[in-house]
Structure 1
Amino acid sequence: MQSNHHDITIIGAGVSSVFLAYTLMKHNEHVSIHMIDLGKELSERTCGLDAGGVCTCEGMCSKYIGFAGLGKSEGKFNYTNDFGGELGRKIGEQTTFDLMQEVDDILCEFGGDIIPTYSTKNEKLSLRARMADMKVLSTEVRHLGTRLANEIFQKIYEVMKNRIMFSFETHVERILKNENGFHLKSNRGDFTTGKLIIGTGMSGSTWLKEQAGSLGLLPGKTRLDMGIRVEMKGDQLESILGDTFETKLKIERDSFRATTYCMNPRGRIIRKHQHGLVMPDGQNVREKDTPSANLNFSLFVPRYFQSHDEAMEFAVNIIGGINQGRERIVVQRLEDFKLHRNTETLGENLVGPSLNGECGNVREEVPELYGMALEEFLASVEKLIGETIHPDTLLYGLDAKFYEPTLPTDENFETDVSNLYLVGDCSGETHSLSQAAASGVYLGKHLGRWDLPVNDNHRKGEPCNE
């Protein structure tokens, strides 16, 4: 019978937690680790959404929670400090780059090297972009694809389960701090631990808010990115895409900054379900047997709200209003958008829609900020490519990327509560698979260097004398 007490317990089995636990067990063979997740193990994570249908899950959707978290979906690792989080600012850019290399080494150890990396760096394009008042964000990318990502994380799980105790479909109802660490009450019984790490990502935001309040942790501001998804002629950006699979562009103005996200040459637009909302999302060409003739991307504008509730209320009001209680997504031709008129039909449109949206007026259904950002962005793109964006380009409303409220942590991700750590997206420092995984490696190394268990909660652990 396995013990209910462990040196370290990790709540959440997403990408950051997986890389943390894997690193920790490699650096400290004596530490006992317990990983808890509300979802299922990877082999049991099935949902109708995976096959393009509707969600078939009871409770929270298995597409988003369970072992590997969002790492099972496309498996796109962007190795960069240009976007995807603020980890470089917290622990140093070079340190972050080095950690992301370690992440890639682990992926390759389990078979990721059969997919070569590609780079989006292009010095000539960067110079041209600056002349058009834009910036090109670059990255090294290893895009595993859904099938390979699942295979890799399953292999990692097979190694980890020999050293780590897993509790799936387990809901931690309450966290109690005591002099020896933490007491966890769950639907599967009680557990105790010396150190506690929370890596619940976006899916656990409501739960984390409740637990933080009971532990006396006060969240800070919450970021919310929203923007219009654009679908254009597949060759419209050919002069700037060059040999790269994706080019990320950014504009900064006095009142906003906006960045392209999830650019998919020859990809399709699909419906994304999050937080009860339905949004237009990009599907990579590698995920579909029948490619599109189009290119699509979202132009995200970040905004900061005083609380997570305020950010979610704003998103629900806007996107929920577009959805109208169903899966409605509004679509409008660029020419109609510029002329402030409704789009009535797409029957003769040169750019054939890859998503069955409802014709309407995006400008009237999204806040002015996002329409203004798109207009200025497209004007800069026209300077960059030296031609007019085709009037039959399609605009879909409204895409969004959600973030966790920030909770203060020190340089080692430890909160104001001794021996309680936050890692990955729920730390507020990472917003991508690569940076989340890197934060896990970082914390795994840090904890692996310390004597365990720690029984004095007023004193940090002492480094091992090796």
Structure 2
Amino acid sequence: MSLKKHYDVAIIGGGIGGIMTAYRLVESNPQMKVLIMEKGHAIRQRHCPIVTGKVEKCIKCSSCAIMEGMAGAGAFSDGKYVISTEYGGWLTEFLEPQTVIHYIEQADEVLVKFGATTDRFMPNDDLKRLCLQHDLHMSQAQLKHLGTDSNFDTMRKLIEYLEDKVDIAVDTEATDVNKDTKEIHLIHKGEKDVITADKIIFAVGRVGSRFFSDWCEKNNIPLKNNQVDIGVRVELPAMVWDHFSKKIYEPKIWYRSKQYGDTTRMFCFNERGHVVTENTGGVLTVNGHSYRDQARKTENSNFALLSTIRFTEPFKKPIEYARYVASLANLICGGGVMVQRLGDLEIGRRSDESRIRKSTTRPTLHAVAGDLSLCMPKRQLDNIIETLHALDKIAPGTANYDTLLYGIECKYYSARPKCTEFQLDDCPGLYAIGDGAGFTRSLSQAAANGMYVADKILGK
């Protein structure tokens, strides 16, 4: 596909935020010339060699099929769609809660149109009460579990619907944007090019957060650092958490440690799922997937357990800090990710291949057996161990000797730019949305953010 020299709206990033922006624009104004630029591959060409069984370990593809490509990192996520303002982002700092829910519901209607389930898990006060009895705090939401497979298929159908309504340029990297001339410098399938657009939207996602932050700093747009979460992916027998997952699907629980007073949170629960590797700019981290297809389910469930850090002056690079911790784990593992039994960690010895083979919890990811204490800061590791024992009180078996801990898992949120109604300050016609701009951290709020900005552009 050859690019036009000028567009009404150019969207940098093909994740759910950018896709929903484009969808709303062309549904409301079919004559509008809209471009989606995506650094990664087309959705039908996104094939991770680990997932397809070609290799056991990450081989660091030039474009990580898990993290990059049309539909963004969310394409291979567990497909949890959160219908709540209790968590999933910070849009309520900019919009009224009822407005956020309104757009979340509208985005859900679009996903259902392309095949997403209508089933919802509802809040459960009995489980919330159980948590409170042990000084654990559970966030509540209506929740839809699309499943990694069904979510991918839904996004594929939505993208195919858009293909003859907007220009979609994959394998296309925006390298710079001139905020005055609205020129976008890009590399399209290996060739340099320059286009212009009346409106430009940064919808870069987590993978593009460094690019966006660097661009803001270069253009003197003030940034506010957000939190960074560092921790592990926990894997254990699925039945340990069945009493939660069968009722609400995702137990999203936070705990304040007694030792430091820090917050550690359990989230991104994957019932009978798989632990997976992610490659973000050459740094390998872990995540989790879960499928709706019964044949692809495992005997284990997994979840993220991350300790939250908010840095103060003069430190201003929390994303680099998280990447450093993760890269240290990669270094120790010879370029891979690590797994350790909780019991080994607590008695101060590394797990080795022999000990992992003896584990009653069989790992779903081929990771390097090692010692998390050699790469994770003590404070965060103490928080994680304390929280696992707190969770064990509501789900006995969580803190078993053979509970597996994979590292490192990071969730870092881009520094948030100074803006008004998501339009960057002193940059008329330039907008930022979604996880990459530090406004959201979920499929639902990223989708809502995109639709809201589309309506602003349309003058609604």
TM-score over 0.5 (shorter chain): yes
Q: Secondary structure at the match of 1:421?
A: strand
Tell me the percent identity.
24
Q: 1:169 aligns with which of 171, 179, 192?
A: 171
Q: 1:421 aligns with which of 426, 431, 440?
A: 431
Deviations 1:196-240 (A, max 9, x none): 111111222232234323433233314321112222233223444
Summarize the alignment of residues 11-410 of structure 1 with structure 2, pairs less than 5 Å apart: 11-52=12-53, 53=55, 59-74=62-77, 75-112=79-116, 115-119=117-121, 121-178=123-180, 182-187=182-187, 188-253=192-257, 255-286=261-292, 289=295, 291-305=297-311, 310-324=317-331, 326-344=334-352, 345-385=355-395, 389-410=399-420
How large is the RMSD of aligned CA atoms in angstroms?
2.9
Deviations 1:18-39 (A, max 9, x none): 1011112223344332222223
Distance 1:329 1:33, change over 3 A: closer
Aligned amino acid, residue 359 of structure 2: N
Aligned amino acid, residue 64 of structure 1: M
CA distance in structure 2 between the partners assigned to 1:276 and 1:151 by the alignment: 27
How many residues are treated as equivalent by the alignment? 446
Is contact 1:408–1:416 with CA below 8 Å preserved after alignment?
no
Aligned amino acid, residue 322 of structure 1: A
Distance 1:213 1:42, change over 3 A: same
Is contact 1:413–1:427 with CA below 8 Å preserved after alignment?
no
Aligned amino acid, residue 289 of structure 1: A
Q: Give 1 or 2 for the bigger CA radius of gyration.
A: 1
**Structure 2 stretches of 5 or more lacking a match?**
none
The Cα of 1:103 is off from its aligned counterpart by: 0.9
Is contact 2:149–2:291 with CA below 8 Å preserved after alignment?
no
Is contact 1:234–1:294 with CA below 8 Å preserved after alignment?
yes
Aligned amino acid, residue 122 of structure 1: N
The Cα of 1:437 is off from its aligned counterpart by: 0.5
Deviations 1:364-398 (A, max 9, x none): 43211222222321232233346784232222232
The Cα of 1:101 is off from its aligned counterpart by: 0.7
Distance 1:123 1:6, change over 3 A: same
Aligned amino acid, residue 299 of structure 2: A
Q: Secondary structure at the match of 1:255?
A: coil
The Cα of 1:91 is off from its aligned counterpart by: 0.8
**Structure 1 stretches of 5 or more lacking a match?**
451-466
Distance 1:235 1:302, change over 3 A: same
Aligned amino acid, residue 111 of structure 2: L
The Cα of 1:241 is off from its aligned counterpart by: 3.8
CA distance in structure 2 between the partners assigned to 1:395 and 1:50 by the alignment: 20
Distance 1:289 1:19, change over 3 A: same
Is contact 2:274–2:302 with CA below 8 Å preserved after alignment?
yes
CA distance in structure 2 between the partners assigned to 1:351 and 1:387 by the alignment: 11
Given the two structures, how large is their TM-score scaled by the length of structure 2?
0.87
Aligned amino acid, residue 267 of structure 1: G
The Cα of 1:120 is off from its aligned counterpart by: 5.1
Distance 1:319 1:65, change over 3 A: closer
Distance 1:260 1:202, change over 3 A: same
Distance 1:333 1:383, change over 3 A: same
CA distance in structure 1 between the partners assigned to 2:174 and 2:374 by the alignment: 43
The Cα of 1:271 is off from its aligned counterpart by: 2.5
The Cα of 1:193 is off from its aligned counterpart by: 1.7
CA distance in structure 1 between the partners assigned to 2:362 and 2:157 by the alignment: 40
Is contact 2:240–2:396 with CA below 8 Å preserved after alignment?
no
Distance 1:240 1:9, change over 3 A: closer
Is contact 2:41–2:63 with CA below 8 Å preserved after alignment?
no
Summarize the alignment of residues 443-454 of structure 1 with structure 2, pairs less than 5 Å apart: 443-449=453-459
Distance 1:397 1:410, change over 3 A: same
Distance 1:364 1:38, change over 3 A: closer
Is contact 1:21–1:33 with CA below 8 Å preserved after alignment?
yes
CA distance in structure 1 between the partners assigned to 2:249 and 2:229 by the alignment: 23
CA distance in structure 2 between the partners assigned to 1:343 and 1:229 by the alignment: 16
Deviations 1:301-333 (A, max 9, x none): 222346998334423432222222634433333
State which drifts further: 282-291 or 91-100.
282-291
Distance 1:382 1:105, change over 3 A: same
State which drifts further: 413-422 or 302-311.
302-311
Distance 1:307 1:208, change over 3 A: farther
The Cα of 1:56 is off from its aligned counterpart by: 7.3
